[in-house]
Amino acid sequence: MTHLDTVVPDAPTLPRKPRPALFTIATIAAAIALTIVTARSVDFSFGEIIGNLSRKNSVVEGLLNPDWGQIWSRRSRSAFIETLQLAVLGTATGATLALPLALWTTTFGNPNRWIRTVVRSFNNVNRAIPDLLWASLFVASVGIGALSGLLALFFFSLAVTTKLTSDTLDGIDMGPIEAANAAGASLPKMLRTAVVPQILPAYASFVLYNFELNLRASAVLGLVGAGGIGLRIEFFRGRGDWEALWGLVFMFFIVVFVVERLSVTLRRRLV
Amino acid sequence: MIRFEQACVTYPNGVVGMKDLDLTIDDGEFVVIVGLSGAGKSTLIRAINGLVPLTSGRLDVNGRDVTKLNRSGLRELRSGIGMIFQGFNLVDRTTVLKNVLMGRLHEVPTWRTLIGRYPAADIDLAARALQRVEILEKAYSRASDLSGGQRQRVGIARALAQEPAIILADEPVASLDPPTSHVVMRYLQQISRELGITTIVNLHFLDLATAYADRIIGLRDGVLVFDGPGSDADEQVFESIYGRSLTADDTMTKHAAL
Ligand SMILES: Nc1ncnc2c1ncn2[C@@H]1O[C@H](COP(=O)(O)OP(=O)(O)OP(=O)(O)O)[C@@H](O)[C@H]1O
Ligand SMILES: [Mg+2]
């Protein structure tokens, strides 16, 4: 067998190694500078955090001694069920509508340039509004309760799934679209047979992921009065009943963990 | 019958794809179009089913003036014209049968398409089309699991399922090896003869063109420069179409031998 050093006897000199791009260095430096500046301006200090946590503090005491009984109380259980319902309904409505909405932003799914621009702008605005802001808006206009939470999750899901689905649509194979059009298919028939099969697994996985997000979001939404488990957490916080609060949080943690595991497994099988 | 009269295509960027074309193709003819890359072969084929609109002139296909058709008129026209593509254009993720059923889309009601429940008669037609290209046993395979030659046969079946009067094939064998190319060309030829389907094929290799064409049409810079029976097309004719002497790249056998 011939060794490479017999074929190439002289140790070759590599061309000079390119220096890391100035842009990369500048970006890293800027990121570090930004972190330091912001930390100073919010008076960040490790010492203070540790001091606060180790001082005698009813919140931390509650954490060490959670009230597991809270898990079985009827009112907490129904608050939980409400949270799950919110997450399911919000996902089902928002993510379902996201599919046509994503299709309408593409050139092949919507031949009308003006409608396309309108739908795209709507999506961009929708995406810019965080879920908590939606919830506050609806609590203010519709009132405290689950309906506000549902509306908030609907818009949040619409934004998330539309965005993810649009990105997938950008990368699909245009060949089948051409074939369907050449066979005289109308727009809905073309989309159903040439486009949807290409994105269906990805879309299903986005819906599941959206459900995970909604489950977590639905807990926070309650804090501003939009129903579900968050409302109950907020109730105990107001009373200063930290044992009960932590019991509830632990239970929520377990539910989220289990749902997330299930969802991740399912999603892995999809794609 | 397909009739071009003084037909021109100028693309929005100013490139001329077809210039003053006068051409008549009778029912049941098997026509091969040859020409260099950019000569306007695809433009000609795509004009016939209205994928590329004429910028001037006239084009009649089966008695309809293509330039005057509205959206639904175009769909109607296209439903009677099968198209076969170089890249097959199948939906990889779905079954062969679902791909062939795409050829039935114009006839199937929208609600049935949306829920994916096709009428038995259409499934039967799709099965017959698959049978015709001898690939029926793959009906429930995923399109992505097929070889290139098999996929192009599915492409032919999809076109056949339309029960078309015309089949257009834009370089149908350009992504296939020589033996597979001959298999696909033979299917196209047999189908044209048996069912009397007018067939127009763009081909890259001249030996394939002379082997299968009843009639050869030569294009150069969007202009028709040759029109005659396949037997008339010798080396001189091809050199005049190409405007240069032939090389090994122009014939499949010599090309493959390299
Ligand atoms: N959509 C388009 N927009 C602008 N110019 C185009 C378009 N399609 C084709 N052309 C141009 O028109 C001319 C003819 O193109 P056409 O695709 O018909 O050639 P062809 O003979 O099929 O070539 P090839 O063998 O490479 O497929 C070319 O110069 C091409 O660049
Ligand atoms: Mg071409």
Q: Mind listing the pLDDT tens digit for each residue in A40-92?
A: 877 777 777 777 777 667 777 777 778 777 777 888 888 888 888 889 999 99
Give chain B's domain count.
1
Q: Does any domain span residue B101? A: yes
The finding on whether B39 has its CB within 6 A of some atom of ligand 1 is yes
Range of the domain at B121: 90-154
The continuous run of DSSP H or E covering A177 comes out as helix A175-182
Report chain A residues whose CB lies below 8 A from the CB of B93.
197-198, 200-201
Query: What is the Cα–Cα distance from A220 to B55, expressed in whole angstroms?
Result: 60
- Is residue A135 within a helix (H) or strand (E), and if so which, with residue range? helix A131-141
- DSSP states along A1-63: ---HHHHS-SPPPPPPPPPPPHHHHHHHHHHHHHHHHHHHHTT--HHHHHHHHHS--HHHHHH
- pLDDT tens by residue, B87-122: 999 999 999 999 999 999 999 999 999 999 999 999
Residues pairing with B227 in the sheet? B217
Ligand 1 neighbour B82 (Cβ under 6 A): no
DSSP summary character for residue A106: S
- Write out the residue range of the structural domain in which residue A159 sits: 63-270
**pLDDT tens digits, residue range A8-30?**
777 778 888 877 788 888 889 99
Q: Do A193 and B105 touch (CB under 8 A)?
A: yes
What is the longest distance spanned by two Cα atoms in chain A? 83
Residue to mutate among B90, B96, B113, with most A CBs inside 10 A, is B113
- Band (pLDDT 50/70/90 cuts) for residue B174 is very high
Tell whether the model's pLDDT for residue A271 goes beyond 70: no
Q: Is residue A246 part of a domain?
A: yes
Q: Do the domain assignments include residue A17?
A: no
**Does some domain include residue B221?**
no
For residue B144, is it within any domain? yes
Surface-to-core class of residue A27, CB atoms within 10 Å of its CB (0-12 exposed, 13-18 middle, 19+ buried): exposed
Give me chain A's average pLDDT, please.
87
pLDDT tens for A170-194 read 999 999 999 999 999 999 999 999 9
How large is the ipTM? 0.94
Q: Positive or negative CA dihedral for A81, A83, A89, A95?
A: negative
In a domain, B26, yes or no: no
The better pLDDT of the pair A72, B130 is held by B130
Write out the two tokens for A215.
């489950």
- pLDDT of A2 reads 67
How far is Cα A94 from Cα A103, in angstroms, rounded to an integer?
15
B158 at the A interface (CB within 8 A)?
A: yes
Query: Which residue of A173, A174, A193, A203 to mutate against B (max B Cβ within 10 Å)?
Result: A193
Q: Pick the atom of ligand 1 nearest to B45's CA.
A: 18
Q: pLDDT band for position A1 (50/70/90)?
A: low
How many structural domains comprise chain A? Answer: 1
Within 8 A of A186 by CB-CB distance, chain B residues are 75, 105, 110
The one-character DSSP state at A183 is T
Check CB contact of B105 with chain A, cutoff 8 Å: yes
pTM assigned to the model: 0.85
The reply to whether A95 falls in a domain is yes
Asked whether residue A23 is domain-assigned, the answer is: no
Is there a contact between B156 and B191 (Cβ–Cβ < 8 Å)? yes
CB atoms within 10 A of CB A223: 16
Ligand number, closest to the Cα atom of B44: 1
